């Protein structure tokens, strides 16, 4: 990992936690805060679905259905 990526990751980790159960519609769609909410949401979703051994494509389709599209895919990958 290069220094620039490491610095961004460190700064991203310092962002406040945003609950996946909060309404995140006030967040800018291309912001790091929006990514942080998406990761929290994905974490909760995986907690429910992984024991059921769902496939990645199913998760991506769910992200598309929920309107998270590329943010969801980026967080998942």
The predicted-structure confidence for 14-32, as pLDDT tens digits, reads as follows 999 889 888 888 988 888 8
Residue that is written with structure tokens 């309404």 in the block: 23
Q: Within a domain: residue 55?
A: yes
Domain count of the fold of the chain:
1
Tokens of 27: 């967040």
CA distances (Å), 57 to each of 44, 47, 64, 73, in order?
Answer: 17, 16, 10, 10
pLDDT of residue 41: 87
Domain that holds residue 43: 36-77
> Cα dist. 26→7, 18, 41, 71 in Å?
26, 12, 16, 16
- What local confidence, expressed as pLDDT, does residue 46 receive? 80
CA distance 15 to 49: 26
Which of 36-40, 45-49, 50-54 has the weakest average pLDDT? 50-54
Is residue 11 assigned to a domain?
A: no
Q: Is the pTM of this model over 0.75?
A: no
- pLDDT of 1 reads 67
């Amino acid at each position: 990992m290069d220094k620039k990526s490491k610095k961004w990751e460190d700064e991203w980790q310092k962002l406040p936690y945003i609950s996946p159960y909060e309404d995140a519609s006030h967040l800018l769609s291309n912001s790091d805060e929006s990514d942080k909410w998406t990761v929290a949401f994905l974490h909760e979703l995986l907690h429910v679905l992984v024991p059921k051994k769902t496939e990645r494509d199913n998760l991506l389709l769910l992200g598309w259905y929920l309107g998270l599209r590329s943010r969801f895919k980026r967080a998942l990958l």
